[in-house]
């Protein structure tokens, strides 16, 4: 088996990709980041990461960017509730990447998706949200490429909690009573590391879930108790956000997603993931304490 030594990242400056870039670069892998903004990438990524310009709308730039690497890690997002767009990064963009990967004879494709797009999920009782529909369509290009692949299907990331803080309030929309197995991006990055050159991690989807199941309300309360006791939790009515979405596409998307979060359970699927890639250990409490120590 030819070992993977150099990995290209597309979407490497994303918040969920940066910890993966860091842990791989710290463990002997060469990293090339294909980015649209070199200055931003220089500020966010380790200095030993090779940076090249590339854009999914410019096919040749992706073909050139994937030269002289062994694998590619895809970190893209679909943030729309519309199904009539001509181009989605996680569908047409993924198709472009797959074609470029085949042209350059890459050994492996890695991609982060979502638990709602996990093929073996049996908890999707409601209509699938648009981002997951697009993901599944895009992932078919990977699965049918003939290139070895590993796709990660995560639940809620604990790292998103600080992003919900506005002023002294942690904001949520609609129902905050569904439990999720919260996981930190650093614990996820360790699991990604354990897939590289792992013969058991070939042509698989891995559900990514953390060590404890908490509702958003419970997670926020633990975060507040261990990070900043002056913070409060505020849940906005979903109907207000949906009404605002009649005039604003961003609010429409948020209403679409939080409606899904509020009624879709998060059963535990990650037994095999933990057995093969390691069990995540960081709780919401520990994450908050670590974050507080860096203030």
- Structural domains of the chain, with CATH: 6-155+183-209+267-280 (3.40.50.720)
What pLDDT, on the 0 to 100 scale, is given for residue 123?
Answer: 67
| Per-residue confidence (pLDDT) for residue 1, from 0 to 100 | 61
Confidence of residue 43 (pLDDT cuts 50, 70, 90): very high
pLDDT at residue 150 in the model: 98
Average pLDDT, the chain: 94
> What is residue 175's predicted lDDT score, i.e. its pLDDT?
87
What is the arithmetic mean of pLDDT over 192-198? 97
pLDDT at 125: 56
User: Mean of the pLDDT values across residues 46-66?
Assistant: 96
Measured distance CA(96)–CA(283) in Å, rounded: 38
pLDDT at position 126 over 80: no
**pLDDT for the residue 151:** 98
Give CA–CA dist 30/50, Å, rounded: 8
The torsion angles phi and psi of 53, rounded to 5 degrees, stand at -80, 140
pLDDT of 263 higher than 70: yes
Which pLDDT tens digit goes with each residue over 89-120? 999 999 999 999 999 999 999 999 999 999 88
- Average pLDDT of 181-210? 97
Q: What is the largest CA-CA distance in the chain?
A: 55
Local confidence band at 198 (pLDDT 50, 70, 90 cut-offs): very high
Polymer length of the chain:
295
In 3D, which of 27, 30, 28 has the Cα closest to residue 9? 30
How large a percentage of the chain has pLDDT more than 90?
91
Position 128 scores a pLDDT of: 81
Alpha carbon distance, N-terminus to C-terminus of the chain:
45
Paired strand residues for 53: 35
Residue 23: pLDDT over 90: yes
Looking at per-residue pLDDT, the higher value among 200 and 121 belongs to 200
> Residue 247: CB partners within 8 Å, gap ≥ 6?
none
What's the CA gap between 122 and 199, in Å, rounded?
27
Stretch 239-265: mean pLDDT, rounded? 91
Q: What is the mean pLDDT of the segment spanning 212-229?
A: 96
Nearest residue to 24 (alpha-carbon basis) of 90, 103, 110? 110
pLDDT-derived band of residue 167, with 50, 70 and 90 as boundaries? very high
Residue 245, pLDDT > 80, answer yes
Q: Has this prediction a pTM greater than 0.75?
A: yes
- Give pLDDT, residue 127: 66
Using DSSP's 3-state secondary structure scheme, residue 191 falls into helix
Cβ-contact 19, 189 below 8 angstroms: yes
Residues paired with 33 in a beta bridge:
9, 51
């Amino acid at each position: 088996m030819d070992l993977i030594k150099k990995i290209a990242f597309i979407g490497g400056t994303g918040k969920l990709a940066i910890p993966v870039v860091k842990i791989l670069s710290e463990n002997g892998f060469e990293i090339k980041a294909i980015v649209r903004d070199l200055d931003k990438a220089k500020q966010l990524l380790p200095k030993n990461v090779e940076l090249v310009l590339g854009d999914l709308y410019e096919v040749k730039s992706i073909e050139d960017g994937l030269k002289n690497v062994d694998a590619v890690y895809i970190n893209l997002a679909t943030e729309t509730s519309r199904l009539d767009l001509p181009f989605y990064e996680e569908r047409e963009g993924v198709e472009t990447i797959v074609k470029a990967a085949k042209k350059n004879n890459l050994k492996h494709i890695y991609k982060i998706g979502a638990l709602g797009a996990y093929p073996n999920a049996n908890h999707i009782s409601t209509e699938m949200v648009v981002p997951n529909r697009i993901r599944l369509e895009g992932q078919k290009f990977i699965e049918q490429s003939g290139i070895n692949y590993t796709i990660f299907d995560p639940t809620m990331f604990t790292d998103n909690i600080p992003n919900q803080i506005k002023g002294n309030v942690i904001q949520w929309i609609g129902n905050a009573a569904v439990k999720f197995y919260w996981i930190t991006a650093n614990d996820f990055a360790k699991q990604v590391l354990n897939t590289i050159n792992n013969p058991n991690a070939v042509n698989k989807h891995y559900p990514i879930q953390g060590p404890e199941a908490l509702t958003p309300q419970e997670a926020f309360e633990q975060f507040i108790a261990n990070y900043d006791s002056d913070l409060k939790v505020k849940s906005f009515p979903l109907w207000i956000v949906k009404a605002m979405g009649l005039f604003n596409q961003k609010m429409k998307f948020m209403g679409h997603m939080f409606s899904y979060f509020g009624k879709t359970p998060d059963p535990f699927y990650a037994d095999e993931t933990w057995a093969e890639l390691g069990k995540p250990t960081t709780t919401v409490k520990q994450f908050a304490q670590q974050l507080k120590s860096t203030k």
